[in-house]
A and B are shown apart, each in its own frame.
Chain A
Amino acid sequence: MYRYDHYDQAMVDARVAEFRDQTRRRIEGHMNDDQFKPLRLKNGLYLQLHAYMLRVAIPYGTLDSRQMRKLAHIARTYDRGYGHFTTRQNIQYNWIKLEEAPDILAELATVEMHAIQTSGESIRNISADQYAGAAADEIMDPRPWAEMLRQMTTFHPEFSYLPRKFKIAVIAAAEDRAALRWHDFALRIVRNPAGEQGFEVFAGGGMGRTPFIAYRIREFLPAAQIFSYLQAVLRVWNLHARRDNIHKQRMKILVHDLGEAEFTRQVEEQFAQFLMLKTDFPQAEYDRIAAYFTPPPFESGLADEVDRADPDFALWVDRQTVAHKAPGYAIVNISLKPIGGIPGDISAEQMELVADLAERYSFDELRASHAQNLVLPHVRKQDLYAVWQALDAAGLGGVNLDLVTDIIACPGLDYCSLANARSIPLAQKIAERFADLDRQLEVGEVKIKISGCINACGHHHAGHIGILGVDRKGTENYQLLLGGSGAEDTSQAKIAGPGFDENGVVDAVERAIERYRAIRSDGERFIDTFRRVGFEPFKEAIYG
């Protein structure tokens, strides 16, 4: 795992001191809210429905036990005993006091964490495959590149006042677990026929009011040229961006206005210029950072079998663990989606338990996934039973990865000041409707994603079934969308028809799923059946 050097630490510490002073000046009345707001947002501090909300960055979703214990400590000391994992692999606290925010940032800095660039018109927390460094199907660990990009872009003057926010993801496997093509800029690490490492580059994706799937703008970019290329992309956006119109500022709008060919042409033109400036990093710098991501010392000769005598444990193993690159190891997914619970929420006690398990059983590593779950990336198969027992005793032994109750839901109108409708109660009702595990397993993979407004933090455009909350004359109303995907088969969900009230949309989801069960062919997931038969059979089931 990357460790701060003295430059990183000095920058973060200076930022804490600066924000402490800014906060003092605001509280003493030397600044008004309009003056203070951009400063607090630069430090991840929002004013939400009930209080200040602090969003803490978890770079590429990687944490160690020391950091997780600090997050638990913050939840208990400064918040109300819990935190919420988001779809950008970050964590949010909902009940923060302004006067305590600088102390929280100071505590975070002691474990090499911060809230910088988790808001505002900046390059946001760079996301990655939550199985990075562990997945059997990856060609390398993508995190050294994510860390390189983080260092290149943090505090970069040209990127500090971008036209709008900018989201980057990096993966290194054919299976896309990071919603790659829904990002402004996304990289898949590949090798060319000569065996050289490089990137397949995507640009212009994004959800929100105007959803677009990113174009592939480069089939192969030599790895060492990535910073020149990223600067070229940002330069083209910066030159043309519609800073006059908030709805047109995201890069996806520019990319799709110019068109794939013209955008790419301009990027390549800028790229040629940047290459001449020689701003790319030297190999030694990559090597220095990559050394932090050296694989842990996996034991050899471990048994690959798991004792499946306990049927509940066997169910959990089958659903919640996935193949690891090292024989005798497994990747463990920890569900933060208990039936009737709040997707992504976790108590301070649960955080501490997960930290203990990471320390004892997973080489001190933990991951947050964009689907609002946690991951223990490197667990010996012989330890799985002990891990499961501990998780189960803490209410974290849920079996539902990628099933109908593994719902992504944004905070919605229960917490978010931009919301039109509540998301969480809907997730709870759908989960309760499908609580029976046999039924869930029989239905198979269905990804339901819920957003409380058009900003789409709940990724509803990428849901096999998406739900969007809208305000209809002062009451909550929900639009149902079908056919989206955030995986390697990326597609954009489309609205099925007229909206519903809360109970109505739960019924509609059930009718869509029952129609799928009735018409699916062997081995088809919900999304496969939808793609084969189209909207009509589902509309007929939903609207009758």
Chain B
Amino acid sequence: MKILTGNDLKTGAVVWWDGSGWSLHVEEAADAGEHADVILATETAACRVNGGYIIDGMRDGDGKVRPAHIKDRIRALGPTVRPDLTLKPADPAAGSWVI
């Protein structure tokens, strides 16, 4: 599957295309499939995303979307060395989701 990611213009936060807008949570990412290029071009031109790009996504055992590559899995969660600053600070197992 193809998913779209980038950063929020004002805050810099990592965001994911959820089919109608941009979400902070990768679990909400939509499969953009063959429309990925068009969606990205439209969203970039409208300044709704900053530094956007297309990546391969996959579904984990629970059927949730996650990026295929470790780099974007770390982007999706936060720094593995500061669990307190990730999107799942209360989840001690969050790091294993990345690796």
List residues of chain A with CB under 8 Å of any chain B CB.
26-27, 29, 32-33, 47, 49-52, 80, 94-99, 342, 413-415, 419, 422, 424-425, 428, 474-476
Alpha-carbon distance between A425 and B80 when the two chains are bound, in angstroms: 8
B69 contacts which chain A residues (CB < 8 A)? 474
Question: Nearest chain B CB to A342's CB is how many angstroms away?
Answer: 6
Query: Do B44 and A50 touch (CB < 8 A)?
Result: no
Given A50-B75, A414-B79, A424-B81, residue A475 in contact with residue B70 (CB < 8 A): yes
Given A33-B51, A47-B51, residue A97 in contact with residue B12 (CB < 8 A): yes
Query: Do B81 and A414 touch (CB < 8 A)?
Result: yes
Given A414-B80, A474-B69, A476-B70, residue A50 in contact with residue B51 (CB < 8 A): no
Question: Nearest chain B CB to A378's CB is how many angstroms away?
Answer: 34
Given A27-B10, A98-B12, A419-B71, residue A50 in contact with residue B47 (CB < 8 A): no
Across the interface, B14 reaches (CB within 8 A) one of A26, A32, A50, namely A50
Please tell me if B85 contacts chain A, counting CB pairs below 8 Å: yes
The contact string, 1 if C-beta is below 8 Å from chain A, for chain B 56-88, is 000000000000111100110011111001000
For B7, give the chain A residue with the smallest CB separation.
A47
The range of chain B's interface size is 20 to 34
Question: Nearest chain A CB to B51's CB is how many angstroms away?
Answer: 5
How would you classify the secondary structure of chain B's contact residues: helix, strand, loop or mixed?
A: loop
For A99, give the chain B residue with the smallest CB separation.
B10
For A96, give the chain B residue with the smallest CB separation.
B12
Alpha-carbon distance between A124 and B45 when the two chains are bound, in angstroms: 33
Given A97-B12, A342-B81, residue A49 in contact with residue B51 (CB < 8 A): no
Across the interface, B70 reaches (CB within 8 A) one of A32, A342, A413, namely A413
Query: Do B74 and A51 touch (CB < 8 A)?
Result: no
Question: Nearest chain B CB to A344's CB is how many angstroms away?
Answer: 12
Given A33-B44, A474-B68, residue A413 in contact with residue B74 (CB < 8 A): yes
Choose among B7, B47, B81, B82 the residue with the greatest number of A CB atoms under 10 Å from its CB: B81
B9 contacts which chain A residues (CB < 8 A)? 26-27, 98
Across the interface, A422 reaches (CB within 8 A) one of B12, B50, B75, B80, namely B80
Please tell me if B96 contacts chain A, counting CB pairs below 8 Å: no
Alpha-carbon distance between A474 and B72 when the two chains are bound, in angstroms: 11
Please tell me if B13 contacts chain A, counting CB pairs below 8 Å: yes
Can you list 21 pairs linking A and B with CB atoms under 8 Å apart?
A: A32-B44, A32-B47, A33-B50, A49-B79, A50-B12, A50-B14, A50-B79, A51-B12, A51-B13, A51-B14, A95-B85, A97-B11, A98-B9, A99-B10, A99-B11, A414-B74, A414-B81, A414-B82, A419-B71, A428-B81, A474-B69
Alpha-carbon distance between A97 and B50 when the two chains are bound, in angstroms: 13
For A475, give the chain B residue with the smallest CB separation.
B70
Question: Which residues in window 18-63 of B have CB below 8 A to A?
Answer: 44-45, 47, 50-51
A80 contacts which chain B residues (CB < 8 A)? 85
For A411, give the chain B residue with the smallest CB separation.
B79
The tally of CB-CB contacts under 8 A between chains A and B is 70
List residues of chain B with CB under 8 Å of any chain A CB.
7, 9-14, 44-45, 47, 50-51, 68-71, 74-75, 78-82, 85
Across the interface, B12 reaches (CB within 8 A) one of A27, A29, A32, A47, namely A47
Alpha-carbon distance between A419 and B70 when the two chains are bound, in angstroms: 11
For B56, give the chain A residue with the smallest CB separation.
A474
B68 contacts which chain A residues (CB < 8 A)? 474
Query: Do B79 and A474 touch (CB < 8 A)?
Result: no
Alpha-carbon distance between A70 and B50 when the two chains are bound, in angstroms: 29
Alpha-carbon distance between A320 and B66 when the two chains are bound, in angstroms: 46
A96 contacts which chain B residues (CB < 8 A)? 12
Question: Nearest chain A CB to B58's CB is how many angstroms away?
Answer: 12
Alpha-carbon distance between A68 and B82 when the two chains are bound, in angstroms: 23
For B47, give the chain A residue with the smallest CB separation.
A29
For A414, give the chain B residue with the smallest CB separation.
B79
Alpha-carbon distance between A428 and B83 when the two chains are bound, in angstroms: 15
A475 contacts which chain B residues (CB < 8 A)? 70
A26 contacts which chain B residues (CB < 8 A)? 9
Query: Do A98 and B74 touch (CB < 8 A)?
Result: no
B80 contacts which chain A residues (CB < 8 A)? 414, 422, 425
Query: Do B74 and A49 touch (CB < 8 A)?
Result: yes
For A418, give the chain B residue with the smallest CB separation.
B71
B71 contacts which chain A residues (CB < 8 A)? 49, 413, 419
B50 contacts which chain A residues (CB < 8 A)? 33, 47
Alpha-carbon distance between A414 and B47 when the two chains are bound, in angstroms: 27
A424 contacts which chain B residues (CB < 8 A)? 79, 81
A-B complex: 4 closest residue pairs judged by Cβ atoms: A51-B12, A414-B79, A52-B12, A29-B47
Question: Nearest chain B CB to A498's CB is how many angstroms away?
Answer: 21
A32 contacts which chain B residues (CB < 8 A)? 44-45, 47
A476 contacts which chain B residues (CB < 8 A)? 70
Alpha-carbon distance between A176 and B47 when the two chains are bound, in angstroms: 49
A94 contacts which chain B residues (CB < 8 A)? 79
Alpha-carbon distance between A419 and B82 when the two chains are bound, in angstroms: 17
Question: Nearest chain B CB to A419's CB is how many angstroms away?
Answer: 7
Question: Nearest chain A CB to B53's CB is how many angstroms away?
Answer: 11
Alpha-carbon distance between A95 and B85 when the two chains are bound, in angstroms: 10
For B46, give the chain A residue with the smallest CB separation.
A29
Query: Do A98 and B81 touch (CB < 8 A)?
Result: no
